[in-house]
A and B are shown apart, each in its own frame.
Chain A
Amino acid sequence: MPASCEQVITLDGDLHARPAGQLAVAAAKFAADVSLTVGDKTANAKSVLAVMGLGATTGQQVTASATGSDAEEAVAAVVAILADATKVGG
């Protein structure tokens, strides 16, 4: 039974290309499927293009969710990047 995990974070800055790249690199390290949801748009976190395509901006809520054996670690890693990397760009 695959584990699943979900966490919501409010962005402190816009989700620019560089943090999107960091997210894709980080998410790719996990076996779990990892996705980000903003409003009605959901993106595969392992796809830099999809993450950029969210066009997420400061103040928006992002839901990070993962399904798979390492889902919990994957969500933690993704949320850490969202919290850290979007702070600077804002």
Chain B
Amino acid sequence: MSPSQTFRGRVVSEGVATGQVYLSSPATPAIPAIPATPATPATSAPAATSATAATAADVRAAFAAVAAERFALAERLRADGRADQAAIVEIGGLMAGDPALVDAAVTAVEGGAEPVAAVAETAEAQAAILAALPSEDLAARADDVRQVGRAVVAQLTAAAAVPPPDGDFILVGPEADPADLIRLADAGLAAIVSVSGGASSHAAIIARGLGLPMLAGADPAVLDAPAGHLALVDATGDGRLVVDPAPADLPAKTSVAPSAPDATPGTPAHRTADGQPVTLLVNAASAREVRMGLAAGAAGVGLLRTEIPFVGATGWPTQAEHEAALTPPLALLAGRPAVVRLLDFSGDKVPPFLAGTAAAGNSAAHDNGLTALLDAPEALRAQLRAILAAGRDTDLRIMVPMVSTVAELTQVKVALTEVAAQTSRPPLLGMMVEVESTAANAAAFTGPAGFFSIGTNDLTSEVLGIDRADPRMRPGLAADPRVLTLLQTVATAAADAGLPVSVCGDAAADPDVLPLLLGVGIRTFSVGAARLPQVATQVAATDTARAAEQAAAALSEAPARPA
């Protein structure tokens, strides 16, 4: 039994889980796969499997891919203010590009050596030179060379593209891709550990929605954790990943992550303590979250985040790609409300193909996503067609994010009308209210909008001038009188126009904010699946008359709004 190893990380989604270590795939699979060596150390790679093996050029490309990956990680660590760790990771990148390693391995392969063995032996030879040095600092770098060798072998054998293990597993990688979380959610994903990232990253939001423990900002050494070994993620208090934990360290239950329950038909009605009906919906980006939400009593989906599968996209998704992503969650929602939000490529969800345009000077940060989509009419129509097709059996509604002008909404409406021409019943088109000026002038939007859904995260961040990524940013801040005043303005405008209004931001799941939202008259809430039971309990315990008094008291602290 190997001794246990512990790696520290910041808790960004709470919980405890166990599973096998599963190392995430590198961003760019560089090499055509050759038969993978089983999960044994690289040094024992057999030569027998490689008749069709990688060429010398493949070996060179694999080194280059590992170097690029290390440099990219170093850059992210440096941006996070973790300069010491960045320097170490960078030296790994230099090693992966070092002629002493690369040229030696390539020469050996050109001379007829088996590629995997050649890489492993070259790395071991260099490691041995360093290990023999009297300086402790340099001798310790021997392990870094071996790690680079293993990463190159993983590239060559496509070991990183190996499917996840059977049973529960812990995804470990340089960064957590929200799309991976969704893809793996049904395959046994039990917890996530990433070297970069923080609490406000979208991967963290998805992890919280799935009720999966997640650590971010982990020690880069975690990337060399042994794949397939049993590990424990303790994301409570100080976060840690323990590989090969002692039996005493294991929790009594193997996992406290919620299992994926079967959706039970029939939706329980939620009522407040004084009998007011309340609709609870779930925020989702995946089929698993939809199942969890329905099982926890959600009537449907109040926010389907369609951009998450595409945050790494290199171009606008096609209609077929949209349909492939939308069908699994929407297929679970026959006859139920399904509010599908158009692509919201903003904030930390700007994919590579739009990153350039954002940097090129779309000054207002919140303009990026919607403006880019409206500027690409074919991309907008492709998504609208896919939503209509995938959601045809649901009580479908389409929602526009980050609306700041009526013209934006009208533009989507025109496209929807055109695309839905053959549809018997075009879906309701509504909008998110999450831009401060939009909230303040909500009455102006009640004409073209079919419903309002308030995004408290972005709204609070803008009103209070705190960046979403700022550690001080938390859902409870929506209770600030300046934010609450705007929420009341939106709720009143909707009520006056007979428009449905809901809150789909994290604030609805905050126990201090929920009574205030009920108090200003909001009766529909959409929250992460893992938060539903708690929200349902609190709704049932809340008296709306008392809540209205509470809200009035909080509002009276608001400074008078300038005319």
Chain A residues in contact with chain B, CB under 8 A? 14, 16-18, 20-21, 24-25, 44, 46-50, 52-53, 55, 57, 89
Contact B135 A55, beta carbon cutoff 8 Å: yes
Asked if B324 is an interface residue, CB under 8 A from chain A, the answer is no
Contact A25 B94, beta carbon cutoff 8 Å: yes
Give the Cβ gap from B63 to chain A, nearest Cβ, in Å.
Answer: 13
Listed stretches B95-103, B218-226, B340-348; interface member: B95-103
Contact B135 A14, beta carbon cutoff 8 Å: yes
**B99 CB contacts on chain A under 8 angstroms:** 44, 46-47
- Closest A-chain residue to B104, C-beta based? A49
A-B contact pairs, 12 of them (CB 8 A): A16-B135, A17-B141, A18-B87, A21-B91, A24-B94, A44-B99, A48-B98, A49-B130, A50-B98, A50-B100, A52-B138, A53-B133
Dominant secondary structure of chain B at its interface with chain A: helix
In whole angstroms, how far apart are the Cα atoms of A20 and B130 in the complex? 13
Asked if B137 is an interface residue, CB under 8 A from chain A, the answer is yes
Contact A44 B100, beta carbon cutoff 8 Å: yes
A-B contact number at CB 8 A: 55
Q: Which of B90, B98, B99, B138 has the most CB of A within 10 A?
A: B138
Instruction: Give B129-163 interface residues, CB cut-off 8 Å to A.
Output: 129-130, 133-135, 137-138, 141, 145
Interface flags for B61-88 (1: CB within 8 Å of A; 0: not) read 0000000000000000000000000011
Asked if B126 is an interface residue, CB under 8 A from chain A, the answer is yes
Give the Cβ gap from B84 to chain A, nearest Cβ, in Å.
Answer: 9
Give the Cβ gap from A76 to chain B, nearest Cβ, in Å.
Answer: 21
Contact B95 A55, beta carbon cutoff 8 Å: no
User: Contact check: which of A16, A24, A57 meets B98 at CB < 8 Å?
Assistant: A24
Contact A21 B87, beta carbon cutoff 8 Å: yes
**A53 CB contacts on chain B under 8 angstroms:** 126, 129-130, 133
In whole angstroms, how far apart are the Cα atoms of A50 and B126 in the complex? 9
- Closest B-chain residue to A56, C-beta based? B135
**B138 CB contacts on chain A under 8 angstroms:** 16-17, 52, 55
In whole angstroms, how far apart are the Cα atoms of A57 and B98 in the complex? 22
User: Contact check: which of B90, B94, B135, B141 meets A57 at CB < 8 Å?
Assistant: B135
Give the Cβ gap from B425 to chain A, nearest Cβ, in Å.
Answer: 63
Other CB < 8 Å A-B pairs besides A50-B98, A52-B130, 15 of them?
A14-B135, A17-B91, A18-B91, A21-B87, A24-B98, A48-B94, A48-B95, A49-B95, A49-B98, A49-B100, A49-B145, A50-B100, A52-B138, A53-B129, A57-B135
